[in-house]
Amino acid sequence: MKKLKYCFVMATILVLTGCVPQTKYAWNGYDQKLYDHYKNPTESEQFVVTLKEVIEYGENVGKVPPGIYAEYGYVLYEKGNFNEAILYFKKEQDKWSESKVLMTKMISNANKIAAQNEKRKESTTEKSVPITGDAK
């Protein structure tokens, strides 16, 4: 009788252990945080911090979710931080081959805008350089 109870308890434990969901990626509460962001978009800075935390946690455990690098890169792109955005677009492209076409386009766009901004800075700097010499 004791053996039967022991076997029943062990079988129950094994069955319940097999039912525990194993996550393939470290989402780290991303879905709730995204919902909160959509619900209150004025707190976008908090969402940016959340994305960074999800990425750092995912990298630490080796389970970065698909699309997170791209989403964070796009946030940086919208803020005008094109060089860092390109880094995250490249990470997404390297990690997820399915995103190669889109990430290549995003990298190309970010490079173009960064180059245009650099030209504007240079032309503004050239115009504001004082001319030295004797004015007669």
Three-class DSSP category at 134? coil
Three-class DSSP category at 30? helix
Q: How many CB atoms lie within 10 A of CB 74?
A: 18
pTM, whole model, 2 decimals? 0.74
List the domain boundaries for the chain: 25-121
pLDDT tens digits for range 110-125: 999 999 988 888 887 7
Task: Return the CATH fold of 25-121.
Answer: 1.25.40
pLDDT tens digits for range 45-87: 888 999 999 999 999 999 999 999 999 999 999 999 999 999 9
